Structure 1
Amino acid sequence: MPKSRGGREVVPMHPICQQTLINNFTNSELQRYGMDVESLLALPPVRKFVDWVANKDPDFNAPIAKKKR
């Protein structure tokens, strides 16, 4: 849950994964999902990203295009 929405728990996350979530979801949307990883993985943009990044090296990094809203 984003800090701006009352979240206090810090979850370690790879920068490219964090940037993908930030670019695809608002803080309100992330608040609704909370720590429900299965629900996030069921969403097409997240599933597509996870499938793409699964075979990359752990230290892989690439720019992520911002979602046009």
Structure 2
Amino acid sequence: MDQPFIADRTVLDDATALIDIFGDRAGEEAAMRAAVSRQKGNVIRFCHWRQIERIVLALGSPDSQGTVH
């Protein structure tokens, strides 16, 4: 997986909140919220939730990403 892009702190806060509430299903919840936003034609919220889905997956990955010091 490529390194995920983090636009701002809100993305990390929302990802953390989903993980706290939904646990292992947080990525699925983010994907569902993205789908709802897309159906409503809200491109900004769609992109927001897709980004969160990627962050949740990255945070749950046992593999290191990027440079390891």
- Fold in common (TM above 0.5): no
Higher normalized helix content (fraction of residues):
2
Q: Give TM-score scaled by structure 2 length.
A: 0.32
Instruction: Give me the TM-score of the superposition, normalised by structure 1.
Output: 0.32
